[in-house]
Amino acid sequence: MRYPGKLQVTRMFSKIADIKKLNKEAAEYLRVHEKRYSYLFNMIKKIRTGIEKDHVITLDIGPSLFTKLLEAEFNSDTILSLGLEHEESRGGHLPANVELDKDHYFYFNLNDTQQPEKWLYLPSCDIIIMAEVLEHLYTAPTLVLKFLNNCLLPGGYLVIQTPNAASLKNRLSMLFGKNPFHMIRENADNPGHFREYTLKELLQIAEKTGFSVVEKNIQSYFTPVNSVESAYVAATNLLPQKFKDGITIVLKKDTNIE
């Protein structure tokens, strides 16, 4: 799947926000993640096209500018979002001047999936998107995916994006004796990454939680911010897929699993 050009990405997001008026943090976040967003957007369009229904319910976990893009593009569908309280969810991915549809927003901490009695009741969804979220959770991913499986209609789709723990960058850091992962922050609402995963691990988790794999890919879809990062991305493009930075998998709820 190819990325749209930069102009097309800008037009996509111009539907939901004045790009020039984004604060510095949001503008930088969008620049770094524009390729990832476009890759994810094309993936969702592909999945949506294959669902033979006039009305689809999509849940975006971790509300962001991408949530607003879904609302603008699929305006005849229902777009739900799930996350922490709005102010806790703010940052470069969701600047303060971008409002969410509060009627379609659900507060839930996915770490609470450890306790089934705390599971949130949600409308049954056709598509669930969990992009750049899993690595921020300290709860076992099998518990998280069991909860999400429960939220999907039979045959529904779960799309996950998460960093590749086995990327070239992480391997090089370890080779030179440097921990590639940041220290957990002293901020319970934004602690950073607890755990990153390999593609093999994610596929094993999917199999244990009632999903079949529709698509899997590892891409270098984070835009470099300097010449060193540009050289790094160029190097990863010459290497096998497993050395790249970002994992995207599309899972489908097995219809024979209750």
Q: Are 104 and 75 in contact (CB under 8 A)?
A: no
Burial 241-256 (b: 16+ CB within 10 A, else e): eebbbbbbbbbbbbee
Task: Return the bridge partners of 57, or none.
Answer: 78
Neighbours of 215 (CB within 10 A): 15
- Give the pairing type, strands 78-83 and 57-61: parallel
Q: What is the pLDDT of residue 102?
A: 82
Instruction: Give the C-alpha separation, 9 to 221, whole Å.
Output: 13
pLDDT at 136 over 70: yes
The pTM assigned to this predicted structure is: 0.90
Specify which residues 210 forms β-bridges with. Answer: none
- Residues 209-219: tens digit of each pLDDT: 999 999 999 99
Other beta carbons within 10 Å of 226: 8
Task: Give the whole-angstrom CA distance, residue 113 versus residue 210.
Answer: 16
For residue 2, the model assigns a pLDDT of: 52
Instruction: Quote the pLDDT of residue 214.
Output: 97
What φ, ψ does residue 152 adopt, rounded to 5°?
Answer: -95, 150
Could you read off the pLDDT of 72-129 as tens digits, one per residue? 889 999 999 998 766 666 776 776 777 777 889 999 999 999 999 999 999 999 999 9
Task: Return the higher-pLDDT residue of 157 and 38.
Answer: 157
Mean pLDDT of 11-22: 66
Q: Do 62 and 129 meet the contact criterion of CB atoms below 8 Å apart?
A: no
Contact 218, 199 (CB under 8 A): yes
Sheet strands (E) in the chain: 57-61, 78-83, 105-107, 125-131, 152-163, 211-219, 246-253
Mean pLDDT for 14-32 is 74
Mean pLDDT (the chain) is: 88
Give bridge partners of residue 58 from the DSSP assignment. 79, 127
Question: Six-digit token pair at 164?
Answer: 């590749």
Residue 12 has pLDDT above 90, yes or no: no
